[in-house]
């Protein structure tokens, strides 16, 4: 699976409309439109998983810079982000139980 980034989306875009538009040109496996937690409106971008790198590159070449719902799309293959490194902190003092206040 290869992820692509789709930017330049309208706040009222739906997953169904977007996947239908893109799947006419390349095979889409999954879609995630990034939304505001409070308003549930699109933040202007989404991530799609394509079945292969060839499909992802095809979507980028066909759709990057194209107009969709009055907006110009910015599409590129998403960079893989490494998981954050685990940080260990050494405590200076051993754990002590606090006495309850009376």
Residues spanned by the domain of 10:
2-77
The predicted model scores a pTM of 0.72
> Is 14 contained in some domain?
yes
> Is 69 contained in some domain?
yes
Two tokens at 11?
Answer: 């706040």
Higher pLDDT, 97 or 5: 5
> Is 10 contained in some domain?
yes
Which residues lie across from 49 on neighbouring strands?
3, 30
> Is 90 contained in some domain?
no
pLDDT of residue 73: 94
| CA-closest candidate to residue 69, choices 6, 12, 26 | 12
Q: Encode pLDDT of 19-72 as tens digits.
A: 999 999 999 999 999 999 999 999 999 999 998 999 999 999 999 999 999 999
72 vs 68: CA distance, rounded Å: 6
Q: Is the pLDDT of residue 75 over 80?
A: yes
CATH number assigned to the domain comprising residue 27: 3.30.70.330
70 vs 4: CA distance, rounded Å: 21
């Amino acid at each position: 699976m290869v992820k692509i980034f789709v930017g330049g989306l309208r706040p009222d875009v739906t997953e169904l409309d977007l996947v239908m538009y893109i799947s006419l040109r390349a095979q889409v496996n999954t879609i995630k439109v990034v939304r505001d937690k409070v308003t549930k409106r699109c933040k202007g971008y989404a991530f799609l998983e394509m079945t292969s790198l060839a499909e992802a590159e095809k979507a980028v070449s066909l759709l990057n810079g194209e107009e969709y719902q009055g907006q110009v799309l910015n599409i590129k293959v998403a960079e893989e982000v490494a998981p954050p490194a685990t940080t260990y902190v050494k405590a200076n003092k051993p754990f002590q139980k606090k006495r309850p206040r009376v």
